[in-house]
């Protein structure tokens, strides 16, 4: 990672962000902005590919996500935060990339395949959803991103983007488009939900949100899944697959104390409630300042949206420059 690296990430806005987003992506962005040139995109166009019937939900989520970004410390002076739907170069690039990719290749994308199944789209698959990897390739290449930090499920998108870059550069005899490297963070968005059943997500109703008030966080922590065989305090308990300890690993800073708690739990004699009480303390240490800042942003819609519009203006020019170069080598400059 260096100042020369151009980092681009994006989120489909569909609601508020949760603590899984925080450990998987948001925390890293706060670090990248000091070492790299960073773009963070609110991917509202991509969000519409599977929410086209619910555009109001996406619109409302844009503001919520902005509040989350600013509250965790993504700094608009260091990071260009922008809105995908206001970058016309992206759909235009997408159109040109469509010539370079076969239907068979798109149909092989494992992430899209899994999503189609999960959303029950097999019978009537919208073209827009099927082709969203091309739109995402346009996102990445429009900014000549060299690093794209993502969850593991997004690696096929980067692979697709890099294939397009290679085809484009070969066919149009240029080196103007740039390949990107995917970067999967260690905890990689794999923070389990409070039910311990899978990844934290809104649809599974197992998330702790950055905007949750403290009593809500306390309630969720109290109800968290632990080792189901750890019935009495004296019983030895399991740490693996126990989300309470996953969360301590993700949010805690007192490593010695966490190691000690784990071995005590495994030996027996440490109750779930005691560990959960400590987890709540640790979580609140992280969430309380975020929550307080978020409240301030939430009351200033105009100011927050102005920040988004300013970033979007900058991003629009960067993407337009790439588009101009693309059109030049495609003999489309008139």
128: its two tokens:
């827009």
The residue behind tokens 């409302």 is 60
Residues 6+ apart with CB under 8 A from 65: 11, 13, 16, 17, 42
Cβ-based nearer residue to ligand TRP, 150 or 323: 150
User: Which range of residues in 48-56, 58-66, 147-155, 265-273 is near ligand TRP by CB under 6 A?
Assistant: 147-155
Q: Using the rule CB under 6 A, which residue among 43, 93, 183, 270 binds ligand TRP?
A: 43
Q: Using the rule CB under 6 A, which residue among 44, 68, 139, 212 binds ligand TRP?
A: 139
Please name every residue paired with 38 in a beta bridge, in sequence order, or none if there are none.
7, 79
Q: Using the rule CB under 6 A, which residue among 11, 64, 246, 272 binds ligand TRP?
A: 11
Torsion of CA 214, 218, 221, 223, to 10 degrees: -130
Residue 206 in the binding site for ligand TRP (CB under 6 A): no
Strand order in the sheet with 6-11: 79-83, 37-42, 6-11, 147-149, 181-183
Q: Using the rule CB under 6 A, which residue among 26, 42, 148, 183 binds ligand TRP?
A: 148
Q: Using the rule CB under 6 A, which residue among 6, 10, 71, 315 binds ligand TRP?
A: 10
Q: Using the rule CB under 6 A, which residue among 12, 144, 190, 294 binds ligand TRP?
A: 12
Rounded-to-integer distance, Cα 3 and Cα 255, Å:
31
Residue 8 in the binding site for ligand TRP (CB under 6 A): yes
Nearest position to ligand TRP, beta carbon: 10
Cβ-based nearer residue to ligand TRP, 131 or 136: 136
Least separation in angstroms between CB 151 and ligand TRP: 7
The site string for ligand TRP over 118-137 (x = CB under 6 A, - otherwise) reads ------------------x-
Residue 6 in the binding site for ligand TRP (CB under 6 A): no
Residue 93 in the binding site for ligand TRP (CB under 6 A): no
Cβ-based nearer residue to ligand TRP, 43 or 323: 43
Q: If 0-12 CB within 10 Å is exposed, 13-18 middle and 19+ buried, where does residue 4 land?
A: exposed
Q: Using the rule CB under 6 A, which residue among 14, 28, 46, 131 binds ligand TRP?
A: 46
178: its two tokens:
């740039």
Q: Using the rule CB under 6 A, which residue among 85, 154, 206, 242 binds ligand TRP?
A: 154
Residue 323 in the binding site for ligand TRP (CB under 6 A): no
Residues in contact with ligand TRP by CB under 6 A are 8-12, 43, 46, 136, 139-140, 148, 150, 154
């Amino acid at each position: 990672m260096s100042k020369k690296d151009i980092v681009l990430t994006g989120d489909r806005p569909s609601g508020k962000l949760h603590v899984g987003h925080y450990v998987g992506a948001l925390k890293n962005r706060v670090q990248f902005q000091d070492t790299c040139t960073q773009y963070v995109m609110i991917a509202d166009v991509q969000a519409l590919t599977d929410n086209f019937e619910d555009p109001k939900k996406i619109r409302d989520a844009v503001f919520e996500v902005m509040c989350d970004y600013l509250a965790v410390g993504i700094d608009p002076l260091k990071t260009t935060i922008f809105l995908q739907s206001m970058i016309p170069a992206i759909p235009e690039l997408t159109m040109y990339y469509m010539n370079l990719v076969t239907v068979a290749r798109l149909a092989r994308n494992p992430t899209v395949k899994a999503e189609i199944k999960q959303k029950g789209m097999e019978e009537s698959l919208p073209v827009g959803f099927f082709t969203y990897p091309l739109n995402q390739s346009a996102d990445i290449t429009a900014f000549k991103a060299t690093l794209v930090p993502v969850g593991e499920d997004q690696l096929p998108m980067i692979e697709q983007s890099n294939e397009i870059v290679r085809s484009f550069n070969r066919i149009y005899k240029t080196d103007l488009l740039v390949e990107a490297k995917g970067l999967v963070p260690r905890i990689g968005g794999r923070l389990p939900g409070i039910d311990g059943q899978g990844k934290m997500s809104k649809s599974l109703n197992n998330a702790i949100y950055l905007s949750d008030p403290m009593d809500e966080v306390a309630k969720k922590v109290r109800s968290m899944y632990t080792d189901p065989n750890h019935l009495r305090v004296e019983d030895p308990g399991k740490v693996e697959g126990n989300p309470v300890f996953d969360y301590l690993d993700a949010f805690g800073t007192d490593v010695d104390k966490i190691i000690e708690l784990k071995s005590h739990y495994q030996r027996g004699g440490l109750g779930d409630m005691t560990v959960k009480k400590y987890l709540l303390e640790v979580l609140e240490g992280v969430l309380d300042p975020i929550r307080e800042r978020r409240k301030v942003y939430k009351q200033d819609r105009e100011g927050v949206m102005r920040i988004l519009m300013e970033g979007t203006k900058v991003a629009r020019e960067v993407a337009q420059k790439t588009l101009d170069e693309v059109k030049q080598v495609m003999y489309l400059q008139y």
